[in-house]
Amino acid sequence: MKRSQNLRSLAAQAIDQVMEQKLSLSDVLPPLQERVSDKDKSLLQELCFGTLRTLPELEWLISQLMSRPLQGKHKVIHYLIAVGLYQLIHTRIPAHAALAETVEGASVLKRQQFKGVINGVLRQFQRQSDSLMAELQQHESRYWHPEWLLNRLRQAWPQHWESIVEANNHRPPMWLRVNRRFHQRDTWLKLLQQAGMNGFTHQDYPDAIRLETPVPVAMLPGFSEGWVTVQDASAQGCVALLNPQNGENILDLCAAPGGKTTHILEAAPEANVLAVDIDKKRLSRVYENLKRLGMKAEIKSGDGRYPEQWCSGQQFDRILLDAPCSATGVIRRHPDIKWLRRNNDIEELAKLQSEILNAVWPLLKPGGTLLYATCSIMPEENSQQIKQFLHNFADATIVETGTSDEPGKQNFPGPDEGDGFFYAKLIKAS
């Protein structure tokens, strides 16, 4: 039996590490989850995700409620107060329990001296919440995004930025990919319905099903047998567009953790797939995913910018380049992205993407297909990147995904849709 832990103090520590040390929540949260009972895991996750999602609102409220913000080694208490406010505004946790547990969090963090301050701030919020929440509506903090990102979104997507922000601020839908090797999508959907759950198909992506209500994977028919995989619909669009065929040589570059490697092999089980990624630790998850689904691929670690390090003269029929990117299309799944990315990352990533794209184009056979994809919604990483590429490489033509003047297909996140994603399908002259 795990001892009961103060979840608010754990959440404050996780948020402190994301915000102050710029660590990813997906690295910080799992070791904390191990310290709590199964019952408490989902509440701890909700406190971390929710507080990071709404942080600008919480920060603005704290600035109204405290004359001097807590800094330095006491910053964790600042985040504890944010966790307290998050519960009062956005959860159904009874206010007295939210208050008591949050105040107690200060003792667990060995900062008893702040118990009175935390109690005072949270109670003052309760007294003034109507007027404070009304005033918040006059401030940019109501969008829950950092200023640099809002500015970029407004500039890039004057028509769409508000719906993008709205989608980013909601919990994501749960999408599944039905493994064609076992069932047709509609057959598995019937199995899901027989098990008392419901799902919806996607108009463009033939293997995708969105669950009406997210559930633990163990409840899904045949999950452990590999009948379905959790994967966002837009991510599935990559293999729909790549259209891999049995017998072909396929390079899956930037492959880890292997979500698309396994999809390629579900669509074309007899394809020869080489999966390459720079990150050895993430590559171990490609092995795990292949093993779960009983599939085989060649796996190599290497830098996409230097193919000579991992490819000895091989040529490919198809290349999937799922490029490293700002991940601005998946903020609703990873709200820490808003706080880990910086404004000038976008240009740095665009440079890296173009170096990788230029380096692997020569590995494509004449007549072959390269699918460039990102989970970004920034034109610099997407349409502008491909426009420049088409300008530089006369033997490249864009098909099915826009034109040379307006290259690519850009998906935006939506409540019943997949994540924000970009695809450009390029064919090499034969």
Ligand X SMILES: C[S@@+](CC[C@H](N)C(=O)[O-])C[C@H]1O[C@@H](n2cnc3c(N)ncnc32)[C@H](O)[C@@H]1O
**Is 365 a known ligand-binding residue?**
no
Contact 286, 295 (CB under 8 A): no
Q: Quick check: helix, strand or coil at residue 276?
A: strand
- Pairing, β 421-428 against β 396-399: antiparallel
**Is 277 a known ligand-binding residue?**
yes
Read off the tokens for 122.
């949270």
Q: Which residues of the chain form contacts with ligand X (CB under 6 A)? A: 254-260, 277-279, 282, 303-305, 322, 324, 356
Active-site choice (48, 238, 325, 375) = 375
For ligand X, the closer of residues 143 and 175 by Cβ is: 175
Q: How far is the CB of 96 from ligand X (least distance, A)?
A: 44
375 catalytic residue (yes or no): yes
Q: How far is the CB of 300 from ligand X (least distance, A)?
A: 10
For ligand X, the closer of residues 101 and 277 by Cβ is: 277
**Is 255 a known ligand-binding residue?**
yes
For ligand X, the closer of residues 185 and 260 by Cβ is: 260
Contacts for 88 with CB less than 8 Å, ≥ 6 apart:
95, 98, 99, 122, 125, 126, 129
- Pairing, β 409-411 against β 208-211: unpaired
Contact 364, 316 (CB under 8 A): yes
Contacts for 280 with CB less than 8 Å, ≥ 6 apart:
301
Q: How far is the CB of 278 from ligand X (least distance, A)?
A: 4
For ligand X, the closer of residues 303 and 345 by Cβ is: 303
Q: Quick check: helix, strand or coil at residue 381?
A: helix
Q: How far is the CB of 303 from ligand X (least distance, A)?
A: 4
CA–CA–CA angle 410, 233, 236 (5° rounding)? 85
Contacts for 153 with CB less than 8 Å, ≥ 6 apart:
145, 161, 164, 165, 377
Q: How far apart are CA 202 and CA 246, in angstroms?
A: 25
- DSSP letter at 321 equals E
For ligand X, the closer of residues 14 and 235 by Cβ is: 235
**Is 311 a known ligand-binding residue?**
no
For ligand X, the closer of residues 182 and 310 by Cβ is: 310
Q: How far is the CB of 36 from ligand X (least distance, A)?
A: 28
**Is 258 a known ligand-binding residue?**
yes
Q: How far apart are CA 429 and CA 365, in angstroms?
A: 9
**Is 254 a known ligand-binding residue?**
yes
Q: How far apart are CA 387 and CA 351, in angstroms?
A: 14
- DSSP letter at 343 equals T
Angstrom CA distances, 306 to 278, 352, 358, stand at: 11, 12, 10
**Is 259 a known ligand-binding residue?**
yes
Contact 320, 253 (CB under 8 A): yes
Q: How far is the CB of 293 from ligand X (least distance, A)?
A: 13
Q: How far apart are CA 210 and CA 198, in angstroms?
A: 9
**Is 408 a known ligand-binding residue?**
no
Binding residues, by number, are 254-260, 277, 303, 322
Binding residues for S-adenosyl-L-methionine, by number, are 254-260, 277, 303, 322
Residues recognised as catalytic = 375
